[in-house]
Amino acid sequence: MKKVVALRHVQFEDLGAFEPALRDAGYAPRYCDIGRDTISDSDRDADLLVVLGAPIGAYEEDKYPFLLDELHLLENRLAAGRPVLGICLGAQLIARALGAAVYPGKVKEIGWAPVELTDAGRQTPIKHLDGIPVLHWHGDTFDLPKDARRLASTVITPNQAFAFGASTLALQFHPEVEAKGFERWLIGHTLEIASVPGLSVPVLRRETLDLSGQTASRGVRMLRDWLEGLPPDQ
């Protein structure tokens, strides 16, 4: 089987619905738990690198020096055209590794809402997410990297998704989230939820129960199409 390494920063922001989908596609996922594990040579050689989310900024290496190791890993893989998938913080780190600025957004974007696909987005696997709500959970945003293709936007966040070359997909939102295990998000982000006016645990729980099944199913279809479209030597 091909090897997938997922850089995980907090336990509850995992591969979710993507993990069994990756196994079904012939990939063997393994987590590198940042803060406990060290990025190794075998991680660098993985057939696919997935960088997952976290409640920290991609520019906070003064507080979290491990970000420099992740950026170095990303820079090398991007330069070599090796497959990379970034979700939330992962997308922000990809943008930074490509030379784009990452910074706090105007407001935090948390909750379920659709993204608006660009014309380019409708021609890519992200088309499966057209018209359905996805989970947003971020306070930072980024500029579109040079030579990247914007795939999706919202009013609050113009750069919600982009592709770079044939082997890199960056998603600011979370199409992998399932209702199962979501209670961990509500516990882990309790202070952040309380800090956003109008946001509540009961509403997030209810919306996730109602919406995550369809979104995760569409997200898996997106992932499968993307994997099938990777260059043959990848």
Active site residues: 88, 174, 176
User: What phi and psi values does residue 19 have, to the nearest 5 degrees?
Assistant: -65, -55
Distances (CA, A) of 31 to 63, 137, 154, 229: 23, 21, 30, 24
Cα 38 to its chain centre, rounded Å, is: 21
% helix, strand, coil for the chain, step of 5: 35, 25, 40
Q: Under a CB-based contact definition with an 8 Å cutoff, are residues 96 and 59 in contact?
A: yes
